[in-house]
Amino acid sequence: IMATNHRKELALNRTLQDCDPDGFVSVADLRSILRCSRGKIDHMVREGKLRKYYIGGNVRFRVQSVLDVIEDVTGERPNPWKQGEAA
């Protein structure tokens, strides 16, 4: 799904840290978080790994679903909102 050399950096991605843990992210933010193309995101949607939500006519993805995808790839669930750790 993602480039091998970026796996450990995903938990510290500033875009993910700035998101509401119970909220949604745009396609552009998701591309930044996962460091992948729009086509790869479309492929993950077709595979059922991600679900699209239409909010105000725009495509959004749940932040928790993004964390699930990261966990599937890295084997660890990141917690970018953990208190007391430097970003």
pLDDT in tens, 9-47: 444 455 677 778 888 999 998 888 888 899 999 999 999
Q: Torsions phi, psi of 52, nearest 5?
A: -80, 140
pLDDT at 9: 43
Separation between Cα atoms, residue 23 and residue 60, nearest integer Å: 9
Using a cut of 0.75, tell me whether the model's pTM lies above it.
no
Separation between Cα atoms, residue 57 and residue 71, nearest integer Å: 29
